[in-house]
Chain A
Amino acid sequence: AQTVTQSQPEMSVQEAETVTLSCTYDTSESDYYLFWYKQPPSRQMILVIRQEAYKQQNATENRFSVNFQKAAKSFSLKISDSQLGDAAMYFCAYQGGSEKLVFGKGTKLTVNP
């Protein structure tokens, strides 16, 4: 079975600085998708960024980018120019050959002014 591990329960960053959240996963599949979701306090979970495993190029969405290392099964999220609104729980998720999403336990990100 696939597993997703987020080894950092909590992280903090100064406003305008850069932070990287770690995620590793375990799978025997070769074709899959990886996601980072953001869940602000008492608000909805929203998709931040998506990576297709068959693509070597790292996905980017404005200030958010990933470092996808397929051989190492690593999928980290980099947030540049951090803003107060980036404070949230961040979840890494894996989707293989079905509709199932497998989530990590999450990383709580605090942004300090």
Chain B
Amino acid sequence: ETGVTQTPRHLVMGMTNKKSLKCEQHLGHNAMYWYKQSAKKPLELMFVYNFKEQTENNSVPSRFSPECPNSSHLFLHLHTLQPEDSALYLCASSPPSRRGLYEQYFGPGTRLTVT
């Protein structure tokens, strides 16, 4: 296990529910990421935060709302999701850039099922 934790590990929610995914990193990194991993598709970058500021929003629907209160914590708030949003949601973090390198460390993921 790396120093990136995610909770919950599994989540089943209805389309009208509101839930949140949590990510915490214990590595002293300053950048954090949300990815979506669906079957037979490449990992899709959703959001990037660098020093708590959002630097990337990869055209993600507004039913996904990220929050980064500090460099160690990252949340993904979910509401009125669709069944096609069912996927593995991965969090990652990276240390300050060294010669343009952002080496990312991943959490175990949250397996989300929308019913």
Contact = CB atoms under 8 A, between A and B. Distances in A.
Contacts of B102: 95, 99, 101
B13 interface: no
B95 to A, nearest CB: 11
Contact of A97 (B50, B56, B100, B106): B100
**Contact count band on A:** 20 to 34
Contacts of B104: 47, 101
Interface in A49-95: 50, 52, 91, 95
Contacts of B100: 31, 33, 97
Given A44-B107, A99-B55, A100-B48, A33 B101 contact: yes
B103 A47 contact: yes
Most chain B beta-carbon contacts within 10 A, residue among A4, A52, A98, A99: A99
Contacts of B45: 100-101
B56 A100 contact: yes
Number of chain B interface residues as a range: 20 to 34
A103 B43 contact: yes
B108 A44 contact: yes
Given A33-B101, A99-B31, A46 B106 contact: yes
A45 interface: yes
B21 interface: no
Contact of B106 (A45, A50, A52, A95): A45
A16 B54 CA distance: 46
A46 B42 contact: no
Nearest to B107: A44
B41 A99 contact: no
B52 to A, nearest CB: 14
B23 interface: no
Interface of A: 4, 31, 33, 37, 43-47, 50, 52, 91, 95, 97-106
Interface of B: 1-2, 31, 33, 40-43, 45, 48, 50, 55-56, 90, 94, 97, 100-109
Given A47-B105, A103-B43, 11 more contacts: A31-B100, A33-B100, A44-B1, A44-B106, A98-B56, A99-B31, A99-B48, A99-B94, A100-B48, A101-B102, A104-B42
